[in-house]
Chains A and B, each alone.
Chain A
Amino acid sequence: MSQALTTAHSVVAPSVLSKRIAGAIVILYALVSMIPLAWILMTGFKTPPDSIAYPPKIVFAPSLEGYCNLFTTRTRQTQEYIQSLGPPQTICDEITRKRDMVIAGPSNYVPRFWNSLVIAFGSTFCAVSLGVLSAYAFSRFRIPLADDLLFFILSTRMMPPIAVAIPIYLMYRKLGLSDTALGMILLYTAVNVSLAVWLLKGFIDEIPREYEEAAMIDGYTRLHAFFKVVLPQAATGIAATAIFCLIFAWNEYAFAVLLTSGEAQTAPPFIPTIIGEGGMDWPAVGAGTTLFLVPLLVFTVLLRKHLLRGITFGAVRK
């Protein structure tokens, strides 16, 4: 309950020099980690010839061709046909016609992206909801064999999930869950729920029981007290857990390749299949990947305050 500042590290205040060195290392590390991201971003704005140029081009004339190709399908046409069309309607029309092609229709990127959103957020919601309920139970009640159960829950994460890919594939085919959003949500929920239970149990253990007990004495049922008192207190932990679950579900590739091919295909297996003229359409892949990063980035930025406090939980007493 003390208001005093506590530090988990050294009791000696860091000197100016050591702060600068630490800062420099952090910035350097951040730059190094950002190189692949920057590369993807740049590739998205290159023209196809620039994207495969050797030595790689750092300075180039930006083009929206990658983004146009990402969202459209195109057909090659004769010069005469193209000239017989009216003036180009959009910037994409113009870019496409320079390559002797016309836009035939929208690509599958938007529906695949939508699938990703539904499946990732859906499974995150399910995993965190189930996780917070079971974590509360493990934290508050005397459950027979609680420790063994917790270990058992964690043990599902001890093998790579893909190890069970074949049984799940066969099971899903029998159950009609192959290539459905529901199937993918169930699968990602199952994988994430163990992580969610473990993370959230730690957070809920930190919340004094007195809060709920006070609410129960004040006239709430346990469930009511859970929603009104425990959940707001656990917001930090829930946010941190949700981000971890979301990152997994959003980026998952192996199961997505195996179990989705059409209707429910998510963006990760779709993006690498964007093939352009004469091989991979790298600018379109770069553009697709860049846009694919956005939801996760927004989600993380929105919750970053909670996330920072959440990841260091246990280190600082409230």
Chain B
Amino acid sequence: MAEIRVENLHKSFGDFTAVKGESFTIADGSFFCLLGPSGCGKTTTLRMIAGLELPTSGRILLGGEDVAFKRASERDIAFVFQLFALYPHMNVRRNIGFPLLCQSVPAREIKARVEETARLLRIDHLLDKPVSGLAGGDRQRVALGRAIVRRPLAFLMDEPLGTLDTEFRDLMCEELRLLHERIKATTVYVTHDQLEAMSMADRIAIMNNGRVEQLGSPQEIYDRPATIFVADFVGSPAMNLIPVTGRLGKGAARLEVAGAGIAIPEMREDAPGEELVLGARPEHIRFDDASDYRGEVFGTEYLGTMQIVTVKVAQGRVKVKVPASLRVESGEQVGLAFLGDRLSLFDKDTGRALRSALHDGATHG
């Protein structure tokens, strides 16, 4: 197992720059997710770590050794592909044993290690079946087996659950996490599915347009989004982003939205401009008739114990997450109150979160 460090990594394809100078460190034994919309550069980053693409510039340190321009076969890593890439002309046993065959491991040891891996993944009964007849989840297990059997320095996974049915995906998510707990291998996992990332990762890097927007634990990313993009991308429904104008200096703890005063975490820096964006998670808003910030109920989505109420306000629409037991009628006039210590404030020009009491004691990604 090893630590992976990426330093100033750039990758261009002709005129298009897929990855624009990213740097991050993946701790030994951790489960690291690269999360972002399609085309954000997450897969390209992963393929560069794997050696399937060569970077335009930058360094990739695998256990302290710079491997950025080495061949894939010279880096001791395993890769799980979205389409599994099981060789159709081989059965399960030979598929799992293939990487060992490449490394000229003796046949007896291959057999032992393949069987051990198959037991770990609970596919030992499938060993002599052709891969073409397997169900999606079992194919995925074989693909994982092929990675595990090598005992590599790190696992790289490119949306390995992307092609599975939803029910299989939840199951495999859990299995992957359990597997990680057991073998504690450094894992880099690429996905566009925030639920997968949130539920499995120790740390997440959110990527957009070839840059890392924020790097942190799932909770940091959810509670303290570093940019408007992250606030909008993570969370379902996404964070409410309410445009506000006003000059806010260091120490300010209130702002005005449409004539209503709203308490915010105390500012730790001066806002660079007057155009700001207030970010509030739907669960950090509640109904309060005493509030001056008012709107009209537009519709509700029922989610079992909770419901999402969409409220039309002067600045657009705000989603509020409240208990399902609360009776809300469309067209009703309601007042909205914000949980003052949980709000984020962003600079509209740069999209950057402004430092406030929310970030106290936390390192700012």
Contact in complex: B88, A213 (CB < 8 Å) = no
- Are A213 and B73 interface neighbours, CB within 8 A? no
Render A180-219 as a binary contact track against B, CB cut-off 8 A, 1 for contact.
0000000000000000000000000000101101111111
B102 to chain A, nearest CB (A): 4
Cα A208 to Cα B88 with chains together (Å): 11
Q: Are A216 and B73 in contact (CB under 8 A)?
A: yes
Q: Are A229 and B87 in contact (CB under 8 A)?
A: yes
A216: chain B residues at CB < 8 Å are 51-52, 71-73
A61 within 8 A of B: no
CA distance A318 to B88 in the complex (A): 10
Q: Does the CB pair B50–A217 fall under 8 Å?
A: yes
Q: Which of B22-30, B77-85, B258-266 contacts A (4 or more CB under 8 A)?
A: B77-85
A261 interface contact, C-beta 8 A:
no
Asked if A210 contacts B102 (CB within 8 A), the reply is no
Do the beta carbons of A213 and B102 come within 8 Å of each other? no
Q: Is the CB of B98 within 8 A of A218?
A: yes
Residues on the A chain within 8 Å of B133, using CB? 3
Point out the residues of chain A lying under 8 angstroms from B51, CB to CB: 216-217
Residues of A within 8 A of B98 (CB): 215, 218
A217 lies within 8 A of B72 (CB): yes
Residue A221 is within 8 A (CB to CB) of chain B in the complex: yes
Alpha-carbon distance between A273 and B103 when the two chains are bound, in angstroms: 60
- Would A214 and B79 count as touching, CB distance under 8 A? yes
Q: Which residue of A lies closest to B84 (CB)?
A: A210
Number of interface residues of A (CB under 8 A): 19
The answer to whether A220 touches B89, judged by C-beta atoms less than 8 angstroms apart, is no
Give the residue name and chain of the B residue nearest to A212 (CB): B85
B163 proximal to A (CB < 8 A):
yes
Known A213-B72, A218-B102; contact A208-B52, beta-carbon cutoff 8 A: no
B103 / chain A contacts, CB cutoff of 8 Å: 218-219
Most buried by B among A214, A224, A233: A214
Beta-carbon contact of A208 and B79 below 8 Å:
no
Complex interface: chain A residues within 8 A of B42 (CB): none
How many angstroms from the CA of A218 to the CA of B105 in the assembled complex?
12
Which residues of A have CB within 8 Å of B87?
A: 211, 229, 232-233
Residues of chain B with a CB closer than 8 A to A220's CB: 73, 102
**Interchain nearest-CB distance for A305 vs B (Å):** 14
A224–B82 Cα distance when bound, in Å, is 23
Determine whether A1 belongs to the interface, using a CB cutoff of 8 Å to chain B: yes
Q: Chain B residues with Cβ under 8 A from A221's Cβ? A: 71, 73
Contacts of A215 in B (CB 8 A): 98, 102
In the bound complex, how far is the Cα of B257 from the Cα of A207, in angstroms? 58
What is the predominant secondary structure among interface residues of chain A facing chain B?
helix
For A211, the chain B residues whose CB sits under 8 A away are 85, 87
Closest chain-A Cβ to B328's Cβ sits at a distance in Å of: 44
Tell me the bound Cα distance from A232 to B133 in angstroms: 19
Across-interface contacts of B82 in A (CB, < 8 A): 210
Shortest Cβ distance from residue A15 to the other chain B in the assembled complex, whole angstroms: 32
Most chain A C-beta atoms within 10 Å of own C-beta, residue among B52, B77, B78, B85: B85
Query: How far, in angstroms, from A40 to B301 measured CA to CA in the complex?
Result: 80
- B73 and A232 contact, CB distance less than 8 A: no
The CA-CA distance from A215 to B102 in the complex, in Å, is 8
Nearest CB of chain B from residue A310's CB, rounded to whole Å: 16
* Nearest CB of chain A from residue B137's CB, rounded to whole Å: 12
Whose C-beta in chain B lies nearest to the C-beta of A232?
Answer: B89
User: CA A208 – CA B98 in complex, angstroms?
Assistant: 18
B77 and A217 within 8 A (CB): yes
B79 touches A213 (CB 8 A): yes
Q: Which residues of B contact A229 (CB under 8 A)?
A: 87
**Complex CA distance for A220 and B103, rounded to whole angstroms:** 8
Task: Determine whether the beta carbon of B85 is less than 8 Å from that of A213.
Answer: yes
Q: Does B294 contact A (CB under 8 A)?
A: no
Closest residue to A220 on the B side, CB-wise? B102
**Residue B85 contacts which of A3, A210, A219, A232 (CB distance < 8 angstroms)?**
A210
Task: Indicate whether B150 reaches chain A with its CB closer than 8 angstroms.
Answer: yes
A22 CA / B254 CA spacing, docked (Å): 82
Q: Annotate A218-238 by CB proximity to B: 1 below 8 A, 0 otherwise.
A: 111100100001001100000
- How far does the Cβ of A226 sit from chain B's closest Cβ, in whole Å? 13
- Of listed B83, B136, B163, residue having the most chain A CB within 10 A: B83
Interface string of B149-165 (1 = CB under 8 A from A): 01000000000000100
Which residues of chain A have C-beta atoms less than 8 A from B89's C-beta?
A: 232-233
The answer to the question of B99 belonging to the interface, with a C-beta cut-off of 8 Å to chain A, is: yes
Cβ-defined contact, B88 with A233, below 8 A = yes
Query: Nearest Cβ distance between residue B68 and chain A, in whole angstroms?
Result: 16
Residue of A208, A210, A217, A224 with highest tally of chain B CB at under 10 A: A217
Roughly how many angstroms separate A224 CA and B146 CA in the complex, as a whole number? Answer: 18
Give the contacting residue for B73; candidates A1, A210, A217, A318; CB below 8 A.
A217
Cross-chain contact B81 with A214 (CB below 8 angstroms): yes
In the assembled complex, the Cα of A197 lies from the Cα of B34 at a distance in Å of 39
Chain A residue with the shortest CB-CB distance to B99:
A218
Chain B interface residues toward A at CB < 8 A:
50-52, 71-73, 75, 77-79, 81-85, 87-89, 98-99, 102-103, 133, 136, 146, 150, 163
Known: A216-B51, A219-B102. 7 other contacts (CB 8 A): A1-B136, A210-B83, A213-B85, A215-B98, A216-B73, A217-B72, A218-B103
Closest 5 CB pairs of A and B: A210-B85, A219-B102, A218-B99, A214-B85, A210-B81
A-B contacts, 25 of them at CB < 8 A, read: A1-B83, A1-B136, A208-B83, A211-B85, A211-B87, A213-B52, A213-B72, A213-B79, A214-B81, A214-B85, A215-B98, A216-B52, A216-B71, A216-B72, A217-B72, A217-B73, A217-B77, A217-B78, A218-B73, A218-B98, A218-B102, A219-B73, A220-B73, A221-B73, A232-B87
A residues sitting closer than 8 Å to B (CB atoms) are 1, 3, 208, 210-211, 213-221, 224, 229, 232-233, 318
